[in-house]
């Protein structure tokens, strides 16, 4: 790397770069990558928010470890928070109170930690929606989708273990529920619960153990996976939305240095700053109000952090099934909502890219994102999953909702139970139909241009609506649609009478592919699009000469309709001829 300037700071920088390069060959990497192009879109910032809030979580969490004491030894509180003076509590809870009241800035850091954790999970979820609905998980990015699913699961674990650490009444109740869930696992559940808690619930082991998981194990794995996640993005280059000049084989955007670095780096400070402001202004998890944990007390209207709400909702909505088989108890009422449903959801998420690629037979590399409408079945499945999740989430607050809106709690629960089964399929169908409608509209636009809404009466009396050609941006976006054919139906036996050994699998694949693709509205060919746009341009052209006479039309003695002036074309054809 050669520098042409002579500022002393740059000289030192240049010398350092040389020194490092001689040992690591780093300039090769810098030369190739400082100008690396990143595409721009607001939705690409969602993943950035997740990353930055995680950095804030790490920074604030490190500060908290300096003061927090993960011990369940009972002490008598003697801090400055008067209502709890003299109360017996664990050292974990007492030190959490001290962070909140005695350490200057402690409450700010604690609240920033909690808020950034909430934002971390939320940003991940929305980032995942973006990736799902735009098909960014398709080849070659399936591995990164898997890493993302793993990160999401770990984020839930990180959140829950952290939520439990203050050992207040609310968090202890959460652990009580975890104990119940562990015990519901067939065969090994009872022992699993005893091993996790180091004996009977609540014991004195769980807080130090959660602490180890929360500050070392889980964040360590998250950090490693984030590194892998970003390295894959780097190697594969970011996907981009379709647009003018953007193809499947290029990337259009801003170079890393300086624009992307300034924007992304600046955005880190914005996320950090906003979290600090929220941490200063908005109370989160006021543990001092809940009191220390004891297994025989609870407060009404208990709510977990938002990202656990759906699991709590599943526990609430599940019917009370339990069976005793050969003398052994299986608690379906706990096992299904808290183990089976999350298991299915996360497995489904992880497998989806592979299932879709198999079903559609799509083996192409995709660097251009797909508009959600152009994959109606995928979009439908995504919306159905969100509706399913959303109902469980509402279920997690059913007592609060029933109280707030003065509803019958039992009717609300039954409504949610039924909705959970019938609404997702309805959401799927409605979404799919909307997507197909939008596809039709797109096709219409490509073939006939925009309906301008302006009705024109031609000199010979004909009324037409002026169509306008699409602007270059929209044209590029809409015409980027790619169609896949439905996989052909397999034959059972070939002409020589030999049985097709993979008939059943091929048949299934044919059906799935048809499910995904058959309703697709075909994109017009390039020639058709060009003709359509030209026609629209022509229609817009018809209107133009009339504007030439607009000033004359201000004449108050007009005779209605379109005025005719000398030299103005009399017929459609005349007008066209004149234009040409």
What does the per-residue mask of binding to another protein show for 375-404, with x meaning CB under 8 A?
Answer: -----------------------xx-----
What does the per-residue mask of binding to another protein show for 407-436, with x meaning CB under 8 A?
Answer: --xx--x-----------------------
- Interface residue with another protein among 259, 284, 464, 562 (CB under 8 A) is 259
Residue 215 near residue 369 (C-beta atoms within 8 A): no
* Cα gap 546→356, rounded to integer Å: 53
When the beta carbons of 265 and 343 are compared against another protein, the nearer one is 265
Which residues lie across from 90 on neighbouring strands? Answer: 74
**Tokens coding 417:** 């139970």
* Cα gap 81→100, rounded to integer Å: 10
Is residue 161 near another protein by the rule CB under 8 A?
Answer: no
Shortest distance, position 401 Cβ to another protein, whole Å: 12
Residue 264 near residue 48 (C-beta atoms within 8 A): yes
Shortest distance, position 438 Cβ to another protein, whole Å: 19
Which residues lie across from 451 on neighbouring strands? Answer: 467
Give me the long-range contacts of 443-446 (CB less than 8 A, separation at least 24): 443/521, 443/522, 443/523, 443/524, 445/470, 445/474, 445/478, 446/470, 446/475, 446/478, 446/479, 446/523, 446/524, 446/528, 446/529, 446/532, 446/533
According to CB under 8 A, which residues from 315 to 354 bind another protein? 315-322, 324, 327-331, 333-334, 337
- Interface residue with another protein among 17, 58, 59, 108 (CB under 8 A) is 108
Question: Residue 467 is inside which H or E element, if any?
Answer: strand 463-468
Is residue 306 near another protein by the rule CB under 8 A?
Answer: no
According to CB under 8 A, which residues from 11 to 70 bind another protein? 34-37, 40
- Interface residue with another protein among 3, 16, 62, 74 (CB under 8 A) is 74
Secondary structure of residue 369 in the 3-state scheme: coil
* Cα gap 483→519, rounded to integer Å: 11
When the beta carbons of 505 and 531 are compared against another protein, the nearer one is 531
When the beta carbons of 487 and 529 are compared against another protein, the nearer one is 529
- Interface residue with another protein among 202, 372, 380, 459 (CB under 8 A) is 202
- Size of site (CB under 8 A) for another protein: 135
According to CB under 8 A, which residues from 445 to 464 bind another protein? none
Is residue 181 near another protein by the rule CB under 8 A?
Answer: yes
- Interface residue with another protein among 19, 29, 234, 269 (CB under 8 A) is 269
User: Residue 577 to residues 538, 542, 554, 569, 574: CA-CA distances in angstroms?
Assistant: 11, 10, 27, 9, 5
Residue 40 near residue 79 (C-beta atoms within 8 A): no
* Cα gap 102→334, rounded to integer Å: 41
Is residue 105 near another protein by the rule CB under 8 A?
Answer: yes
Is residue 485 near another protein by the rule CB under 8 A?
Answer: no
- Interface residue with another protein among 195, 355, 426, 552 (CB under 8 A) is 195
- Interface residue with another protein among 67, 129, 272, 549 (CB under 8 A) is 272
When the beta carbons of 124 and 175 are compared against another protein, the nearer one is 175
């Amino acid at each position: 790397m050669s520098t042409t300037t002579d500022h002393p700071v740059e000289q030192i920088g240049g010398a350092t770069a040389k020194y490092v390069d001689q040992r690591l060959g780093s300039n090769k990497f810098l030369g190739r990558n400082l100008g690396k192009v990143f595409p721009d879109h607001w939705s690409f910032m969602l993943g950035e928010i997740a990353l930055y809030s995680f950095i804030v979580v790490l920074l604030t969490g490190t500060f908290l470890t300096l003061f927090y004491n993960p011990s369940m030894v009972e002490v008598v509180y003697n801090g400055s928070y008067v209502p709890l003076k003299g109360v017996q509590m664990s050292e974990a809870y007492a030190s959490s109170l001290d962070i909140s009241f005695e350490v200057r800035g402690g409450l700010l850091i604690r609240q920033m930690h909690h808020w950034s954790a909430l934002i971390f999970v939320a940003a991940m979820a929305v980032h995942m929606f973006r990736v799902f609905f735009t098909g960014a998980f398709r080849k070659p990015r399936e591995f990164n989708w898997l890493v993302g699913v793993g990160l999401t699961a770990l984020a839930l674990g990180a959140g829950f273990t952290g939520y439990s650490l203050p050992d207040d009444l609310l968090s202890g109740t959460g652990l009580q529920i975890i104990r119940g869930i562990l015990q519901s696992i067939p065969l090994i559940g009872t022992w699993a619960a005893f091993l996790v808690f180091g004996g009977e619930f609540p014991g004195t082991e769980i807080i130090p153990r959660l602490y180890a998981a929360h500050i070392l194990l889980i964040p360590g794995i998250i950090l490693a996976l984030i590194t892998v996640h970003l390295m894959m993005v780097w190697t594969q280059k970011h996907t981009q939305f379709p647009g003018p000049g953007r193809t499947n084989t290029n990337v259009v955007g801003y170079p890393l240095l300086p624009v992307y670095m300034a924007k992304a780096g600046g955005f880190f400070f914005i996320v950090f700053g906003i979290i600090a402001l929220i941490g200063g202004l908005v109370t989160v998890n006021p543990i001092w109000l809940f009191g220390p944990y004891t297994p025989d007390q609870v407060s009404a209207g208990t709510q977990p952090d938002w990202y656990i709400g759906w699991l709590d909702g599943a526990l609430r909505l599940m019917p009370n099934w339990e069976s005793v088989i050969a003398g052994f108890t299986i608690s379906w009422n706990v096992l299904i909502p808290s183990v089976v449903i999350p298991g299915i959801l996360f497995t489904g998420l992880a497998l989806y890219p592979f299932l879709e690629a198999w079903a559609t037979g799509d083996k192409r590399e995709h660097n251009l994102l797909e508009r959600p409408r152009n994959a109606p079945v995928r979009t439908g499945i995504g919306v159905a999953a969100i509706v399913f999740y959303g109902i469980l989430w509402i279920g997690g607050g059913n007592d609060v909702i029933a109280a707030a809106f003065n509803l019958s709690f039992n009717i609300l629960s039954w409504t949610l139970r039924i909705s959970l089964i019938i609404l997702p399929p309805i959401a799927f169908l409605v979404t799919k139909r909307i997507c197909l409608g939008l596809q039709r509209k797109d096709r219409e636009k490509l073939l006939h241009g925009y309906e301008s809404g302006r009705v024109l009466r031609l000199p010979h009396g004909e009324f037409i609506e002026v169509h306008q050609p699409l602007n270059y941006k929209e044209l590029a976006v809409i015409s980027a649609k790619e169609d896949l054919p439905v996989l052909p139906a397999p034959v059972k036996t070939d002409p020589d009478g030999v049985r097709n050994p993979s008939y059943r699998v091929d048949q299934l694949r044919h059906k799935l592919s048809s499910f995904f693709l058959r309703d697709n509205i075909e994109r017009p060919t390039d020639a058709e699009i060009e003709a359509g746009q030209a026609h629209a341009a022509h229609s817009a052209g018809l209107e133009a000469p009339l504007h030439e006479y607009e000033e004359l039309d201000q004449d108050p003695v007009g005779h209605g309709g379109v005025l005719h002036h000398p030299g103005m074309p009399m017929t459609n054809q005349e007008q066209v001829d004149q234009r040409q």
